[in-house]
Structure 1
Protein backbone atom coordinates (compact mmCIF):
# COMPACT_ATOMS: atom_id res chain seq x y z
CA UNK A 1 0.00 0.00 0.00
CA UNK A 2 1.35 3.37 -1.03
CA UNK A 3 1.83 6.01 1.63
CA UNK A 4 1.16 9.57 0.56
CA UNK A 5 3.24 12.26 2.27
CA UNK A 6 1.41 15.24 3.69
CA UNK A 7 2.30 17.99 1.24
CA UNK A 8 1.81 21.72 1.75
CA UNK A 9 -1.86 22.61 2.03
CA UNK A 10 -3.37 25.54 0.19
CA UNK A 11 -3.99 27.35 3.48
CA UNK A 12 -0.34 26.93 4.52
CA UNK A 13 0.88 28.22 1.15
CA UNK A 14 -1.44 31.24 1.34
CA UNK A 15 -0.38 31.94 4.93
CA UNK A 16 3.32 31.99 4.00
CA UNK A 17 2.70 34.26 1.03
CA UNK A 18 0.61 36.69 3.09
CA UNK A 19 3.18 36.85 5.87
CA UNK A 20 5.87 37.55 3.26
CA UNK A 21 3.77 40.36 1.76
CA UNK A 22 3.09 41.96 5.16
CA UNK A 23 6.69 41.82 6.39
CA UNK A 24 8.20 43.07 3.14
CA UNK A 25 5.50 45.74 2.88
CA UNK A 26 6.57 47.17 6.24
CA UNK A 27 10.20 47.24 5.13
CA UNK A 28 9.16 48.82 1.82
CA UNK A 29 7.10 51.45 3.64
CA UNK A 30 10.23 52.55 5.50
CA UNK A 31 12.14 52.88 2.22
CA UNK A 32 9.30 54.69 0.42
CA UNK A 33 8.71 57.04 3.37
CA UNK A 34 12.38 58.03 3.12
CA UNK A 35 11.98 58.60 -0.63
CA UNK A 36 14.25 55.75 -1.71
CA UNK A 37 14.23 54.17 -5.20
CA UNK A 38 12.44 50.93 -4.20
CA UNK A 39 9.24 51.20 -2.18
CA UNK A 40 6.38 49.05 -0.91
CA UNK A 41 5.44 47.32 -4.17
CA UNK A 42 9.01 46.46 -5.12
CA UNK A 43 9.79 44.95 -1.72
CA UNK A 44 6.54 42.96 -1.67
CA UNK A 45 7.17 41.59 -5.15
CA UNK A 46 10.74 40.60 -4.33
CA UNK A 47 9.85 38.92 -1.04
CA UNK A 48 6.74 37.19 -2.40
CA UNK A 49 8.65 36.00 -5.44
CA UNK A 50 11.38 34.54 -3.25
CA UNK A 51 8.68 32.86 -1.13
CA UNK A 52 7.09 31.32 -4.22
CA UNK A 53 10.44 29.95 -5.37
CA UNK A 54 11.13 28.52 -1.91
CA UNK A 55 7.67 26.93 -1.88
CA UNK A 56 8.35 25.36 -5.25
CA UNK A 57 11.68 24.05 -3.99
CA UNK A 58 10.06 22.62 -0.86
CA UNK A 59 7.31 21.01 -2.94
CA UNK A 60 9.87 19.47 -5.30
CA UNK A 61 11.71 18.02 -2.31
CA UNK A 62 8.51 16.54 -0.87
CA UNK A 63 7.52 15.11 -4.24
CA UNK A 64 10.94 13.49 -4.62
CA UNK A 65 10.67 11.98 -1.14
CA UNK A 66 7.18 10.71 -1.92
CA UNK A 67 8.43 8.98 -5.08
CA UNK A 68 11.36 7.48 -3.20
CA UNK A 69 9.02 6.00 -0.56
CA UNK A 70 6.30 4.69 -2.85
CA UNK A 71 8.39 3.76 -5.89
CA UNK A 72 11.66 2.23 -4.63
CA UNK A 73 12.72 1.29 -8.15
CA UNK A 74 13.07 5.01 -8.99
CA UNK A 75 15.19 6.00 -5.99
CA UNK A 76 18.40 5.90 -7.99
CA UNK A 77 17.12 8.39 -10.57
CA UNK A 78 15.20 10.80 -8.36
CA UNK A 79 17.25 13.78 -7.23
CA UNK A 80 16.28 16.92 -5.31
CA UNK A 81 18.68 19.65 -4.30
CA UNK A 82 17.01 21.83 -1.66
CA UNK A 83 19.43 24.70 -2.26
CA UNK A 84 19.46 24.89 -6.07
CA UNK A 85 16.59 27.31 -6.68
CA UNK A 86 17.39 29.20 -3.50
CA UNK A 87 20.94 29.80 -4.68
CA UNK A 88 19.59 31.30 -7.91
CA UNK A 89 17.46 33.76 -5.94
CA UNK A 90 20.38 34.84 -3.76
CA UNK A 91 22.58 35.55 -6.78
CA UNK A 92 19.85 36.89 -9.06
CA UNK A 93 18.48 39.48 -6.63
CA UNK A 94 21.82 41.29 -6.86
CA UNK A 95 20.95 42.52 -10.36
CA UNK A 96 17.72 44.10 -9.13
CA UNK A 97 19.48 45.67 -6.16
CA UNK A 98 22.16 47.13 -8.41
CA UNK A 99 19.46 49.07 -10.24
CA UNK A 100 18.70 51.08 -7.10
CA UNK A 101 22.30 52.28 -6.64
CA UNK A 102 23.13 55.74 -7.96
CA UNK A 103 26.80 56.65 -8.29
CA UNK A 104 28.02 60.16 -9.04
CA UNK A 105 31.24 62.04 -8.47
CA UNK A 106 29.88 63.45 -5.23
CA UNK A 107 27.99 60.58 -3.59
CA UNK A 108 26.75 57.00 -3.73
CA UNK A 109 23.05 56.46 -2.98
CA UNK A 110 20.83 53.41 -2.84
CA UNK A 111 23.14 50.93 -1.11
CA UNK A 112 20.80 50.51 1.86
CA UNK A 113 17.80 50.01 -0.41
CA UNK A 114 19.70 47.43 -2.45
CA UNK A 115 20.60 45.63 0.76
CA UNK A 116 16.98 45.77 1.98
CA UNK A 117 15.81 44.15 -1.28
CA UNK A 118 18.40 41.42 -0.87
CA UNK A 119 17.46 40.76 2.75
CA UNK A 120 13.68 40.66 2.15
CA UNK A 121 14.41 38.04 -0.49
CA UNK A 122 16.13 36.08 2.27
CA UNK A 123 13.06 36.48 4.49
CA UNK A 124 10.90 35.27 1.63
CA UNK A 125 13.03 32.18 1.26
CA UNK A 126 12.81 31.47 4.98
CA UNK A 127 9.03 31.85 4.97
CA UNK A 128 8.66 29.73 1.86
CA UNK A 129 10.66 26.93 3.47
CA UNK A 130 8.61 27.24 6.67
CA UNK A 131 11.32 28.64 8.94
CA UNK A 132 9.11 31.15 10.70
CA UNK A 133 11.48 31.75 13.62
CA UNK A 134 14.31 32.73 11.29
CA UNK A 135 12.03 35.03 9.29
CA UNK A 136 10.55 36.63 12.40
CA UNK A 137 13.85 37.34 14.13
CA UNK A 138 15.35 38.52 10.85
CA UNK A 139 12.46 40.94 10.35
CA UNK A 140 12.91 42.44 13.82
CA UNK A 141 16.62 42.99 13.23
CA UNK A 142 15.98 44.54 9.80
CA UNK A 143 13.50 47.08 11.19
CA UNK A 144 15.84 47.98 14.06
CA UNK A 145 18.65 48.58 11.58
CA UNK A 146 16.54 50.63 9.14
CA UNK A 147 14.49 52.68 11.59
CA UNK A 148 16.23 52.83 14.96
CA UNK A 149 19.95 52.21 14.57
CA UNK A 150 20.83 55.69 13.32
CA UNK A 151 18.99 57.12 16.34
CA UNK A 152 20.80 54.87 18.79
CA UNK A 153 24.29 54.97 17.30
CA UNK A 154 25.64 58.03 15.56
CA UNK A 155 28.84 57.56 13.62
CA UNK A 156 30.65 60.88 13.00
CA UNK A 157 31.40 61.28 9.32
CA UNK A 158 33.82 63.62 7.62
CA UNK A 159 32.65 65.73 4.69
CA UNK A 160 34.46 68.10 2.39
CA UNK A 161 32.98 71.48 1.67
CA UNK A 162 34.32 73.57 -1.19
CA UNK A 163 33.85 77.31 -0.66
CA UNK A 164 34.75 79.84 -3.35
CA UNK A 165 34.78 83.49 -2.34
CA UNK A 166 36.14 86.99 -2.93
CA UNK A 167 37.63 89.50 -0.48
CA UNK A 168 39.91 87.07 1.28
CA UNK A 169 40.43 88.54 4.75
CA UNK A 170 36.85 89.40 5.78
CA UNK A 171 35.49 86.16 4.30
CA UNK A 172 38.06 83.96 6.03
CA UNK A 173 37.27 85.71 9.27
CA UNK A 174 33.55 85.13 8.71
CA UNK A 175 34.08 81.42 7.96
CA UNK A 176 36.28 80.88 11.00
CA UNK A 177 33.76 82.60 13.22
CA UNK A 178 30.86 80.62 11.72
CA UNK A 179 32.57 77.26 12.24
CA UNK A 180 33.51 78.15 15.80
CA UNK A 181 30.04 79.41 16.79
CA UNK A 182 28.34 76.29 15.38
CA UNK A 183 30.89 73.89 16.89
CA UNK A 184 31.96 72.59 13.48
CA UNK A 185 35.33 70.86 13.71
CA UNK A 186 37.79 71.53 10.90
CA UNK A 187 40.00 68.50 10.33
CA UNK A 188 41.84 69.82 7.28
CA UNK A 189 41.78 72.67 4.78
CA UNK A 190 43.25 73.18 1.31
CA UNK A 191 43.68 76.54 -0.40
CA UNK A 192 43.57 77.67 -4.01
CA UNK A 193 43.31 80.97 -5.85
CA UNK A 194 42.42 81.83 -9.43
CA UNK A 195 42.13 85.09 -11.35
CA UNK A 196 38.90 85.51 -13.31
CA UNK A 197 38.02 88.72 -15.09
CA UNK A 198 40.80 90.50 -13.22
CA UNK A 199 39.26 89.36 -9.95
CA UNK A 200 40.80 86.95 -7.46
CA UNK A 201 38.59 83.96 -6.61
CA UNK A 202 39.74 82.09 -3.51
CA UNK A 203 38.72 78.46 -3.00
CA UNK A 204 39.05 76.66 0.31
CA UNK A 205 38.25 72.97 0.69
CA UNK A 206 37.40 72.21 4.31
CA UNK A 207 37.28 68.68 5.74
CA UNK A 208 34.78 69.06 8.55
CA UNK A 209 32.80 67.17 11.17
CA UNK A 210 29.39 68.52 12.12
CA UNK A 211 27.94 68.38 15.65
CA UNK A 212 24.95 66.18 16.37
CA UNK A 213 21.66 67.60 15.13
CA UNK A 214 23.25 69.95 12.60
CA UNK A 215 22.81 69.06 8.93
CA UNK A 216 25.11 69.76 6.01
CA UNK A 217 22.20 71.20 4.03
CA UNK A 218 21.57 73.72 6.80
CA UNK A 219 25.22 74.73 6.85
CA UNK A 220 25.41 75.15 3.07
CA UNK A 221 22.25 77.24 3.04
CA UNK A 222 23.48 79.57 5.77
CA UNK A 223 26.93 80.04 4.27
CA UNK A 224 25.50 80.74 0.80
CA UNK A 225 23.75 83.84 2.21
CA UNK A 226 27.06 85.59 2.84
CA UNK A 227 27.65 88.19 0.11
CA UNK A 228 31.32 87.38 -0.55
CA UNK A 229 30.76 83.66 -1.15
CA UNK A 230 30.26 82.95 -4.85
CA UNK A 231 30.04 79.15 -4.69
CA UNK A 232 29.68 76.43 -2.08
CA UNK A 233 29.19 72.70 -2.50
CA UNK A 234 29.75 69.36 -0.79
CA UNK A 235 32.28 67.04 -2.37
CA UNK A 236 33.28 63.45 -1.63
CA UNK A 237 36.06 62.81 0.85
Structure 2
Protein backbone atom coordinates (compact mmCIF):
# COMPACT_ATOMS: atom_id res chain seq x y z
CA UNK A 1 0.00 0.00 0.00
CA UNK A 2 2.93 2.31 0.66
CA UNK A 3 4.01 2.14 -2.98
CA UNK A 4 0.52 2.99 -4.19
CA UNK A 5 0.24 5.99 -1.88
CA UNK A 6 3.69 7.20 -2.80
CA UNK A 7 2.84 6.86 -6.53
CA UNK A 8 -0.30 8.99 -6.04
CA UNK A 9 1.53 11.62 -4.00
CA UNK A 10 4.52 11.86 -6.34
CA UNK A 11 3.05 11.37 -9.82
CA UNK A 12 -0.20 13.20 -9.13
CA UNK A 13 0.94 15.78 -6.59
CA UNK A 14 -0.85 18.64 -8.38
CA UNK A 15 -4.19 16.79 -8.42
CA UNK A 16 -3.80 15.79 -4.77
CA UNK A 17 -3.13 19.42 -3.85
CA UNK A 18 -6.18 20.59 -5.84
CA UNK A 19 -8.39 17.98 -4.14
CA UNK A 20 -7.09 19.03 -0.73
CA UNK A 21 -7.76 22.71 -1.53
CA UNK A 22 -11.32 21.92 -2.66
CA UNK A 23 -11.99 19.84 0.45
CA UNK A 24 -10.57 22.49 2.76
CA UNK A 25 -12.67 25.18 1.06
CA UNK A 26 -15.84 23.13 1.46
CA UNK A 27 -15.04 22.28 5.09
CA UNK A 28 -14.30 25.93 5.89
CA UNK A 29 -17.62 27.04 4.39
CA UNK A 30 -19.43 24.26 6.22
CA UNK A 31 -17.86 25.31 9.52
CA UNK A 32 -19.09 28.87 9.08
CA UNK A 33 -22.51 27.57 8.04
CA UNK A 34 -22.71 25.35 11.11
CA UNK A 35 -22.16 28.40 13.26
CA UNK A 36 -25.01 30.18 11.44
CA UNK A 37 -27.25 27.13 11.87
CA UNK A 38 -26.62 26.94 15.59
CA UNK A 39 -27.67 30.59 15.88
CA UNK A 40 -30.79 30.07 13.72
CA UNK A 41 -29.61 32.40 10.95
CA UNK A 42 -31.14 32.09 7.47
CA UNK A 43 -28.16 30.36 5.87
CA UNK A 44 -26.67 26.98 6.64
CA UNK A 45 -23.80 24.58 6.46
CA UNK A 46 -24.58 23.16 3.02
CA UNK A 47 -25.16 26.57 1.48
CA UNK A 48 -21.91 28.10 2.69
CA UNK A 49 -20.03 24.88 1.95
CA UNK A 50 -21.22 25.14 -1.65
CA UNK A 51 -20.34 28.83 -1.88
CA UNK A 52 -16.82 28.23 -0.56
CA UNK A 53 -16.35 25.23 -2.83
CA UNK A 54 -17.55 27.22 -5.83
CA UNK A 55 -15.14 30.02 -5.03
CA UNK A 56 -12.24 27.59 -4.78
CA UNK A 57 -13.20 25.98 -8.07
CA UNK A 58 -13.20 29.33 -9.85
CA UNK A 59 -9.90 30.46 -8.31
CA UNK A 60 -8.18 27.16 -9.07
CA UNK A 61 -9.43 27.07 -12.63
CA UNK A 62 -8.06 30.55 -13.24
CA UNK A 63 -4.73 30.03 -11.53
CA UNK A 64 -3.80 26.44 -12.36
CA UNK A 65 -4.69 26.25 -16.02
CA UNK A 66 -2.63 29.01 -17.60
CA UNK A 67 -1.97 27.40 -20.99
CA UNK A 68 -5.02 28.99 -22.59
CA UNK A 69 -5.48 30.55 -26.01
CA UNK A 70 -6.77 33.75 -24.39
CA UNK A 71 -5.00 36.26 -22.21
CA UNK A 72 -5.50 35.74 -18.48
CA UNK A 73 -7.03 39.25 -18.26
CA UNK A 74 -9.74 38.41 -20.79
CA UNK A 75 -10.55 35.10 -19.11
CA UNK A 76 -10.73 36.80 -15.73
CA UNK A 77 -13.23 39.39 -16.99
CA UNK A 78 -15.40 36.70 -18.58
CA UNK A 79 -15.41 34.65 -15.36
CA UNK A 80 -16.36 37.76 -13.34
CA UNK A 81 -19.22 38.52 -15.70
CA UNK A 82 -20.55 34.97 -15.62
CA UNK A 83 -20.50 34.74 -11.83
CA UNK A 84 -22.04 38.18 -11.35
CA UNK A 85 -24.85 37.38 -13.76
CA UNK A 86 -25.49 34.00 -12.19
CA UNK A 87 -25.55 35.63 -8.75
CA UNK A 88 -28.58 37.62 -9.84
CA UNK A 89 -30.23 34.49 -11.23
CA UNK A 90 -29.59 32.66 -7.97
CA UNK A 91 -31.03 35.57 -5.99
CA UNK A 92 -34.30 35.02 -7.84
CA UNK A 93 -34.52 31.55 -6.28
CA UNK A 94 -34.50 32.93 -2.72
CA UNK A 95 -37.95 33.38 -1.22
CA UNK A 96 -39.09 34.71 2.13
CA UNK A 97 -42.03 33.01 3.83
CA UNK A 98 -45.28 34.79 4.62
CA UNK A 99 -44.25 35.20 8.25
CA UNK A 100 -41.10 37.03 7.11
CA UNK A 101 -38.90 34.76 9.23
CA UNK A 102 -38.44 31.69 7.05
CA UNK A 103 -36.09 31.91 4.08
CA UNK A 104 -36.16 29.26 1.36
CA UNK A 105 -34.06 28.69 -1.71
CA UNK A 106 -30.57 29.48 -0.41
CA UNK A 107 -29.20 26.07 -1.32
CA UNK A 108 -30.81 26.33 -4.73
CA UNK A 109 -29.23 29.75 -5.23
CA UNK A 110 -25.82 28.44 -4.23
CA UNK A 111 -26.16 25.44 -6.52
CA UNK A 112 -26.97 27.78 -9.41
CA UNK A 113 -23.78 29.66 -8.60
CA UNK A 114 -21.64 26.54 -8.24
CA UNK A 115 -23.04 25.17 -11.48
CA UNK A 116 -21.74 28.34 -13.13
CA UNK A 117 -18.35 27.78 -11.52
CA UNK A 118 -18.29 24.21 -12.80
CA UNK A 119 -19.24 25.47 -16.23
CA UNK A 120 -16.33 27.92 -16.13
CA UNK A 121 -13.88 25.18 -15.18
CA UNK A 122 -15.18 22.90 -17.92
CA UNK A 123 -14.93 25.75 -20.40
CA UNK A 124 -11.32 26.31 -19.40
CA UNK A 125 -10.58 22.61 -19.80
CA UNK A 126 -9.85 22.20 -16.11
CA UNK A 127 -11.14 18.63 -16.14
CA UNK A 128 -9.87 17.48 -12.76
CA UNK A 129 -11.24 20.56 -11.00
CA UNK A 130 -14.57 20.12 -12.76
CA UNK A 131 -14.89 16.45 -11.80
CA UNK A 132 -13.63 16.93 -8.22
CA UNK A 133 -15.87 19.99 -7.75
CA UNK A 134 -18.88 18.11 -9.07
CA UNK A 135 -18.23 15.17 -6.75
CA UNK A 136 -17.79 17.47 -3.75
CA UNK A 137 -20.99 19.34 -4.64
CA UNK A 138 -22.99 16.13 -4.91
CA UNK A 139 -21.57 14.84 -1.61
CA UNK A 140 -22.53 18.11 0.12
CA UNK A 141 -26.03 18.09 -1.36
CA UNK A 142 -26.61 14.39 -0.68
CA UNK A 143 -25.16 14.02 2.81
CA UNK A 144 -24.97 17.63 3.99
CA UNK A 145 -28.39 17.84 5.63
CA UNK A 146 -27.92 14.63 7.66
CA UNK A 147 -24.45 15.73 8.80
CA UNK A 148 -25.70 19.26 9.45
CA UNK A 149 -28.56 18.06 11.67
CA UNK A 150 -26.27 15.71 13.63
CA UNK A 151 -23.66 18.42 14.21
CA UNK A 152 -26.28 20.95 15.27
CA UNK A 153 -27.66 18.52 17.86
CA UNK A 154 -24.11 17.73 19.01
CA UNK A 155 -22.89 21.31 19.41
CA UNK A 156 -26.07 23.16 20.37
CA UNK A 157 -27.87 20.46 22.32
CA UNK A 158 -31.14 21.16 20.53
CA UNK A 159 -32.67 20.29 17.14
CA UNK A 160 -32.72 22.87 14.38
CA UNK A 161 -35.94 24.85 14.50
CA UNK A 162 -35.75 26.92 11.33
CA UNK A 163 -35.22 25.02 8.07
CA UNK A 164 -33.89 27.67 5.75
CA UNK A 165 -32.70 25.46 2.96
CA UNK A 166 -34.56 23.49 0.36
CA UNK A 167 -33.96 19.87 -0.61
Greater Rg, structure 1 or structure 2? 1
Which of the two has greater strand per residue? 1
User: Looking at both structures, which has the greater relative contact order when contacts are Cα pairs under 8 Å and sequence separation is at least 6?
Assistant: 2
Which of the two has greater helix per residue? 2
